[in-house]
Amino acid sequence: MDATSSTPQDRVLSGMRPTGALHLGHYHGALKNWVRLQSQMSCYYFVADWHALTTHYESREVIAHNVYEMVIDWLAAGLDPNQCTLFLQSRIPEHAELFTLLSMGTPLGWLERVPTYKDQQEKLKDKDLSTYGFLGYPLLQAADILIYKAKWVPVGEDQASHVELTREAARRFNHLYGRETDFDARVQASLDKLGKDAAKRLEKSRKAYQETGDTKAMDGALGFLSDTPLLDPDERDRLAGWFKGTGKTVLVEPQALLTEASKLPGLDGQKMSKSYGNAIAMREDRSSIETKVRRMPTDPARIKRTDAGEPERCPVWQFHKVYSDASTQAWAAQGCRHAGIGCLECKQPVIDGILKEQVPMLERAEPYLSRPQVVRDIVDAGTDRARATARSTMAEVRTAMGINY
Ligand code: TRP
Ligand code: SF4
C-alpha cells in the first residue's frame, strides 16, 4: 500500500530535530516528500525539540537558535501553513504524558534492541548518551505518533524500527486497556440497538470466527458493522473489537512511509551532513555555493585535463543525476570518459542547477526573515490545532486506563 491509495482524512505525521540549518540532503531526502504529501492528506509536521535535547542536552542554545530557523527552511521548501499543520513539540506537554503512560508497560528490551540506540552511541562518541532520555526516545517518538492517531509516518529507513516499536506499543496498549471497565455492557447496548436478528447473526459469526478461524464470517460481520447506520463510529469500533476478541482500538497502529534515501550525497560523496563539513544549506550564499562545488573532489584518476575519467567514481556525477537533464548528463559523461571537458566545466551546470533550485526557496523565505513574528504566529496556530487533537486522544487514553477517578 502507498500513501496515494488512501483517503484525504488519513493523517500523516513526521518530525525533525532542530539541531542545525537544513541542507540539500534534507530537502531531497525528506522535505520534498513532505511538500508533496501536504496536498494529498492531512499532514502534521513538528519541530522535535525534546528529541533534539536527547543528544544536545548540554547545548540548548543550538536548539533555541534552530527552532524557528528550521520552520523557515520548511516554508522555503514549500510547506504551506494553509495546507498542513506545523507545530512545536514542547508546547504540547500531552506528548510527555502519553510517553509516561506508555513507559509503564514497555519492556526495557524493546528499547535496548532498537538499532539506532547502539549505533548512535557509537557514532556520537563525544557525547555521553548513556542516559535515560536517549534510551527512551523511540518511545517518546511513539507517543508523538500515537497521540495524533497518525496512519502514515514518512521517515527514512533509519527510523523504520522506531515506527515498528510504535506499532508494538499501540498493540500492547490496546490489548491491556482496550476493554473499558463497562466494555461488556456497552457491547450489549450496541447489540440491542442492532436488533435481535442482527445480534443473533453476529453472535453466530463471532463464534465461527473465534472457534474455527472462519475469516469469511469475520469479513461479513465487519462489512455489516462498517455499513450499519445504527451505530456511531465509536460503537462500531468497539463491536469490531468484541468480534475479534481484541477489545477496542484506542491507539492506531501507524505505518512507515519510507522515503528513499536522499539521492543527493555530500560534496565528498559521503552522506550529506553538517557535521562532516560536506553540506550545502538550503539557503546559502551564491558565492559560497560556487566555491564549494568548484572545490568538490572528482575522479582521482583525472589528474591532468587530458586524463580520461569515470563519472561513477565522481561525486559531481551524483549531483548531475539530481540537477541536470538527460542531454547535459550525456554531455558530462561523454566529456569525462573522453577527456573532452575539464572538471570545472563539468561542474558549471551543477552550480547553475543548485542556484536555480534556490531561487524559489529564497523567495519563499524572504518575507519571513524580516518578520519573525509571522513565523511564530504560524507555529502558534498549528500548535493550537495539534493540541486539540492531542487532548482528545489523551481523554480517551485516560478513560481507557481508568485514570479518571
Ligand atoms: N526521531 C526522528 C529523527 O531523529 C524525529 C522524530 C521525532 C520523528 N518524533 C517523530 C519522526 C515522529 C517521525 C515521527 O529524525
Ligand atoms: Fe567528475 Fe565531471 Fe570531472 Fe568527470 S569530468 S571527473 S564527472 S567533474
62 CA from centroid of ligand 2 (Å):
37
pLDDT in tens, 338-359: 999 999 999 999 999 999 999 9
> Into which CATH architecture does domain 8-176+252-262+372-401 fall?
3-Layer(aba) Sandwich (3.40)
Task: Give CA–CA dist 290/321, Å, rounded.
Answer: 18
190 CA from centroid of ligand 1 (Å):
39
Q: Provide the terminal-to-terminal Cα distance of the chain, rounded to the nearest Å.
A: 42
pLDDT value, residue 201: 95
Determine contact, residues 319/264, Cβ cutoff 8 Å: yes
Task: Kindly give the number of the ligand 2 atom that is closest to the alpha carbon of 346.
Answer: 2
The pLDDT of residue 304 is above 80: yes
- pLDDT category at 279 given cuts 50, 70, 90 is very high
112 CA from centroid of ligand 2 (Å):
44
pLDDT value, residue 159: 92
Cα separations (Å) of 139 from 26, 60, 99, 384? 24, 22, 6, 23
Section 78-88 average pLDDT: 98
Task: Give CA–CA dist 26/282, Å, rounded.
Answer: 8
Query: Which ligand ends up closest to the CA of 141?
Result: 1
Ligand 1 pocket test, pick from 17, 74, 89 with the greatest ligand atom count within 8 Å of Cβ, gives 17
pLDDT in tens, 134-187: 999 999 999 999 999 999 999 988 899 999 999 999 999 998 998 877 888 999
pTM across the whole model = 0.87
pLDDT value, residue 114: 94
pLDDT in tens, 225-275: 999 999 998 899 899 989 988 778 899 999 999 887 778 999 999 999 988
Cα separations (Å) of 309 from 148, 314, 324? 52, 9, 19
- pLDDT category at 9 given cuts 50, 70, 90 is low
pLDDT value, residue 7: 46
Ligand 1: does its nearest atom lie under 6 Å from the Cβ of 159? yes
The pLDDT of residue 1 is above 50: no
Task: Kindly give the number of the ligand 2 atom that is closest to the alpha carbon of 299.
Answer: 6
Query: Which ligand ends up closest to the CA of 319?
Result: 2
The pLDDT of residue 3 is above 80: no
What strands, in cross-sheet order, belong to the sheet with 255-258?
Answer: 85-88, 42-47, 11-16, 152-155, 255-258
15 CA from centroid of ligand 1 (Å):
5
203 CA from centroid of ligand 2 (Å):
71
Task: Kindly give the number of the ligand 2 atom that is closest to the alpha carbon of 317.
Answer: 7
pLDDT value, residue 2: 41
CATH of 284-368, one of 1.10.240.10, 3.40.50.300, 2.60.40.1190, 1.10.8.420: 1.10.240.10
The pLDDT of residue 8 is above 50: no
pLDDT in tens, 89-133: 999 999 999 999 999 999 999 999 999 888 888 888 888 888 999
Residue closest by Cα to atom 3 of ligand 2: 343
List all residues whose CB is within 6 A of at least one atom of ligand 2. Answer: 298-299, 302, 309, 311, 314, 316-317, 332, 336, 341, 343, 346-347
Determine contact, residues 254/162, Cβ cutoff 8 Å: no
